[in-house]
Structure 1
Amino acid sequence: MKDLSRIIDQLPGSEAKNILVNIMYRLDLMKESPEIQDEMIKELYSLYDEIVDGCQNDSYLEREYEAVHIACGEAAAGSLRVGLDHKNKVIGFPDFFAVGPIWQLHRDVGRQHRYEWLKNHIHIEMDYMEEEYKQKFLKALEEIKVIPDRLPIVLWTAENADEQTGMRYILYLLKEKANPVFLIHSTLAYKELYDTEEYQSFRLHTGEIEPEKLKAIDHKMRSNALNAEKRKRYEGEWMALADTKEVLRIWEKGQIKSVSEHYFDAFIIECAQKLQADHDHYDSILSTRVIGEVLGNLDQSIGDAFLEYRLRTLIYKGVFEIKEVPKSMRFYSVKLR
């Protein structure tokens, strides 16, 4: 136990979390599919040996990677960490680029502007904003800055405004680096590698793909690095986005489109009307139920936090009545006036 405690103490916090996710994921697979227990146990033993051996000679802390993968969102980054082997480093941005201002986000003034907007409009715990969001965002920027020369960089994107905006932002951050950059479009890759029925159930985000399938996609779809012309084009598209003042973006006909923040308000009202018609007209409906109905029928990856902000805005405008205190979306109910 002393030896194990010493080894764990040597691990950076993020590395320890990645290992825990890896272990829990495999244990979960064992519970769901007992027939693969032997295979999963072998993988856990292999992970154990790698950590112990690596920490004993410090190679685990100063590992030489074969590639760096960059993903938008912690769900996508977490799935990549589980699916890929330890020869791949994964950098994940703890953000959702479809909502909130991105004006001059590549500069300190833009990052502070975005932080203040999120803090003032979106229901996020202050501890999370300071310790998780802000610090992890800065850490991701630093990790990108120190990527070694010549190390391949794999950038993941998909059919949604979040990852498409984030991809352009990240390519701008990489503009001074000569590393080969590979762009993997997970939605198109999933459609190509897996059957149509399964593809239809796959929504819109890389983070919704199983880790093993992300590994297969990386293996089969990583081919030619982006040439200088394409990189310049994406960098220019980021600069155009960085001049916009809107706080909402959608993905439409293969393009990022900046729209007014009340773009989905009418649809929120329409979903609430359907729910009220199915219930007693005088009953209030949990806000989570309304937001869930919107998310379930929306063809965009927007997220519940922004929709809850718009629901609160409609309450302030007198469109909805409110019951209880809106400390968070699960604590209050609404009814159309």
Structure 2
Amino acid sequence: MIEKLYQSIEKLSGSEARNLLINMMIKIKNMRESKDLQEELLGELYSLYDEALGVSQSKMEIAFNTVHIACGESTAGTLRYGLGRGNKVIGIPEFFSIGSIWELHKDVGRKHRYEWLKDHINMEMDYLEEEYERKITKTLEEIDAIPGDVPIVIWTADNAEEQTGMRYFMYLLKEKPNDVLLINTSLAYQELFVVHDDQYFHHTGTIYPEQLKEMYKKNVAKLLSVEERDRYQREWILLTESKEVLRIWQNKQITFVNESHFDSFIITAIQKLHAEQGHKDFILAAKIIGEVLGLLKGSVFDAFLEYRIRELVYNGVFEIKGIPKDMRSYSVRVKNNVETLSE
């Protein structure tokens, strides 16, 4: 058995091995902190172990009475932990605020999106080549296989990624007879919990599992009518007529903007960091991105900001030191002749 375990681990890609380790560490941490959930978490660890060995999951599939769909594997993992047994969670490994979504519900659109991401976005651990297509295909198959007699809950929030994703899910479910319910976690958080003036949750993945569970228990999910589902499906089709690659959530709607939309925030951030230095030295790209994410409250994908930093280098706004393999491998600084560009 030990030999089989070695062989199974050797077959994992870098990203798969990393995700497996992260999931195991999170569950062990949760077991140490919550004695009440130890039995359930131990079962989940056994499932991860069996998955690593390639054991068929169909033999140990836990019965579920509700299916939940969310944007992002991290958000899906948070929901799985918060909701517990009886709930199947499907998380699509996508980032719908960036990249082309032109004709994404068709093979030609998926290929077009993949090519744009490959040409513009740095993905760690060869994510695009090793996992992206395989995981997308698996997720679409999972959604297609949802039984027609179970309710489906779509989780969204007030951001372009989840709002775009929600409309995509609605389109994928257009032939399904299931009841479809919608939970907007931004609104639910304001309704159920104490919100400070500077606190606003723009993304489902930033909310604690216990709070997501409370939202679900409090029955904040809205059952969508046939007309509402049709409207979201039509909105998806309209969105996919454009080949623009950046979307923001503005005035309660998804808005296409130029891909340089966040450049001024990047320049403002690096000028602020230069001022703190007292001189204009090179600054790690990851540090600049962290500063921008703080300014924008995390409402943009960090890898897109890294792409824009490279574009500012190519366009002569920044100087570069290092090789831009990823945001931690190089540094930049503003050139003297663009000191006031963000003003």
Q: TM tier, shorter chain?
A: 0.7 to 0.9
Q: Structure 1's 335 and 154: CA in aligned 2 closer, same or farther, altered over 3 A?
A: same
The equivalent of 1:181 in structure 2 is: 180
The equivalent of 2:144 in structure 1 is: 145
What percentage of aligned pairs have identical amino acids? 53
Residues of 1 paired with 2:303 and 2:202: CA distance? 17
The equivalent of 1:102 in structure 2 is: 101
The equivalent of 1:27 in structure 2 is: 28
Which of 36, 48, 52 is the matching residue for 1:39? 36
Q: 3-state SS of the aligned residue for 1:271?
A: helix
- Whether contact under 8 Å (1:102, 1:245) holds in the other structure is yes
Residues of 1 paired with 2:75 and 2:199: CA distance? 17
Matches within 5 A, 1:243-254: 243-254=241-252
Q: 3-state SS of the aligned residue for 1:196?
A: coil
- Whether contact under 8 Å (1:119, 1:129) holds in the other structure is yes
Return the letter of the residue paired with 1:196: V
Structure 2 spans left out of the alignment, 5+ residues: 9-17, 49-56, 336-343
Q: Structure 1's 26 and 194: CA in aligned 2 closer, same or farther, altered over 3 A?
A: farther
Q: 3-state SS of the aligned residue for 1:184?
A: strand
Q: Report deviation, 1:95.
A: 0.9
Q: Report deviation, 1:269.
A: 1.0
Q: Does 1:330 align with 2:325?
A: no
Residues of 1 paired with 2:43 and 2:237: CA distance? 45
Q: Report deviation, 1:182.
A: 0.5
Q: 3-state SS of the aligned residue for 1:318?
A: coil
Which of 271, 274, 287 is the matching residue for 1:273? 271
Q: Report deviation, 1:126.
A: 7.1
Give the total of aligned pairs. 320
- Whether contact under 8 Å (2:153, 2:221) holds in the other structure is no
Structure 1 spans left out of the alignment, 5+ residues: 9-16, 52-57
RMSD: 3.1
Deviation string, structure 1 residues 285-336 (Cα, Å, up to 9, x no partner): 1111111111110156111100010010000000001111111111111111
Q: Structure 1's 132 and 86: CA in aligned 2 closer, same or farther, altered over 3 A?
A: farther
Q: 3-state SS of the aligned residue for 1:261?
A: coil
- Whether contact under 8 Å (1:183, 1:225) holds in the other structure is yes
Q: Report deviation, 1:193.
A: 1.1
Residues of 2 paired with 1:238 and 1:231: CA distance? 11
Matches within 5 A, 1:64-79: 64-79=63-78
- TM-score, normalized by length of structure 1? 0.85
Q: Report deviation, 1:102.
A: 0.5
The equivalent of 2:338 in structure 1 is: none
- Whether contact under 8 Å (2:188, 2:220) holds in the other structure is no
- Whether contact under 8 Å (1:250, 1:300) holds in the other structure is no
Residues of 2 paired with 1:223 and 1:331: CA distance? 43
Q: Structure 1's 135 and 47: CA in aligned 2 closer, same or farther, altered over 3 A?
A: closer
The equivalent of 1:260 in structure 2 is: 258
Matches within 5 A, 1:1-337: 24-29=25-30, 31=32, 33=33, 36=34, 38-44=35-41, 61-125=60-124, 127-197=126-196, 200-299=198-297, 301-337=299-335
Q: Report deviation, 1:45.
A: 5.9
Residues of 2 paired with 1:186 and 1:173: CA distance? 21
Q: Structure 1's 46 and 99: CA in aligned 2 closer, same or farther, altered over 3 A?
A: closer
Q: Structure 1's 21 and 64: CA in aligned 2 closer, same or farther, altered over 3 A?
A: farther
In terms of mean alpha carbon deviation, does 292-301 or 163-172 score higher?
Answer: 292-301
- Whether contact under 8 Å (2:24, 2:45) holds in the other structure is no
Q: Report deviation, 1:82.
A: 1.2
Return the letter of the residue paired with 1:207: G
